[in-house]
């Protein structure tokens, strides 16, 4: 047997890659997350699982609201109106 160890692969996601995510991608991912959990009956899940599902819904809605807010501000230039 060989005592050779496989080299550790430490792969970090660089922020530059994350910046290439479009607003449409963010909205789509959030929408798909909501869709994935929308038909789950919370009364049939454990309390921990139900809380996870609520958190997914809340965070996804927050993402959608934030992105839509940014787009609205750009389109209507709301900062100049103040």
What is the Cα–Cα distance from 72 to 30, expressed in whole angstroms? 18
Q: Dump the DSSP string for 19-39.
A: TT--HHHHHHHHHHHHHHHTT
pLDDT tens-digit readout, 23-53? 999 999 999 999 999 999 999 999 999 999 9
Question: Which structural domain, as residue segments, surrounds residue 50?
Answer: 15-81
> Residue 6 domain-assigned?
no
The tokens for 22 are 């479009």
> Residue 20 domain-assigned?
yes
> Residue 55 domain-assigned?
yes
> Residue 67 domain-assigned?
yes
Please determine, for residue 17, whether its predicted confidence score (pLDDT) is greater than 80: no
Contact 61, 34 (CB under 8 A): yes
> Residue 30 domain-assigned?
yes
| Structural domain count of the chain | 1
> Residue 4 domain-assigned?
no
Where does residue 22 rank: exposed (0-12), middle (13-18), buried (19+ CB within 10 A)? exposed
> Residue 49 domain-assigned?
yes
What is the Cα–Cα distance from 75 to 7, expressed in whole angstroms? 50
> Residue 61 domain-assigned?
yes
């Amino acid at each position: 047997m060989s005592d050779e160890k496989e080299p550790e692969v430490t792969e970090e996601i660089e922020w530059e890659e994350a910046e290439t995510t479009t607003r449409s991608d963010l909205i789509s991912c959030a929408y798909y997350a909501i869709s994935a959990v929308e038909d789950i009956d919370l009364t049939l899940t454990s309390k921990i699982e139900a809380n996870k599902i609520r958190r997914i819904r809340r965070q996804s809605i927050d993402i959608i609201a934030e992105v839509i807010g940014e787009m609205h501000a750009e389109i209507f230039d709301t900062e100049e109106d103040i």
